[in-house]
A and B are shown apart, each in its own frame.
Chain A
Amino acid sequence: MRIELKKFGTTLISRQSGKEAFSAFQSTIVGIAKDENVEIDFDGVVTFSPSWGDEFLTPLLNQFGDRLVLFPTNNPSVKITIKLLEDINKRQFKIN
């Protein structure tokens, strides 16, 4: 399953909106097959921050582990955020 983050907005900044996005996504998670990957597409996102990412990506990483796959992006705010979240969680994201 591919998640297009731009559907949650182009400016993904606060913990609060990250929490809301994760909460809204819960109903979709139920339908994900046991061997299915969850792919994160950053295309169209302008600004991304660790607060939002920690509320959305960290719980997905904990839940899906290596089945969570991030699509590569040139957006510098995404790249620095991913690196910081990896340091905080002491765990690597799988990048496609």
Chain B
Amino acid sequence: MSASAAKIIQPVEAIVLDRNGARVSPIGSRAFLLEATGDFDLAAQRRIWALSRAVELWSETLEIVPGMTNLLVVLKVTPEDPEILALRLLEAWEQAETIDLAGRMIEISVTYGGEHATDLAALCDRSGLSDREVIRIHYEGTYRVFALGSAPGFGYLHGLDPRIYMPRKTVPSLNMERGCVTIGGMQTGVAVLTGPNGWNSIGFAKLQMFDPMSSTPAVMAPGDTVRFVPASIEL
């Protein structure tokens, strides 16, 4: 064993490659994140889905995690030269053609307002809209499952009307209940676990999103279309 392995050389900056509408950066030694830097839209996500299919086949890939217009690639071992890997990812992005996933239509019945809508008032303050308008804008939308993540079966939904964008909270709610219908930045979704949550709750839905014993544990899949149906509005 040589002691030289423990010697520390200090790289000056982060390895971040930015080219042709995509940016690659590392998370630790074995994971790399490619982010599409353009618009937050379905076109970008379709390319991410195409890129996912290509990168999944690489022999060095352990796991791929598609996110919101981005893709995390976890490798089996730490690469010696991260730039070679980053460049390869950028090339794959440039070659990635658009694909559309033929998803299912999922309707989610929601109780808007009421005891679970802990952040509805704050959303009204920020948007200058009434609670009724916020709710109407939310249930009139048609959403697309861009990716799953964060908690088992949680679907990140795209298609939120910019009028009701609401940043994540600075201090998360400590014990938000499973089923809360939430807004986090430009995204919306339904909480699948009870616990700390930085998103803003405006309603509640009773729907089991995940079953670990099923052969398809998650109800939602990327590409699915989601509509929220107001079962009741409690204001």
Co-complex (A, B): no
**Which residues of A approach B to under 8 Å, CB–CB?**
none
**Which residues of B approach A to under 8 Å, CB–CB?**
none
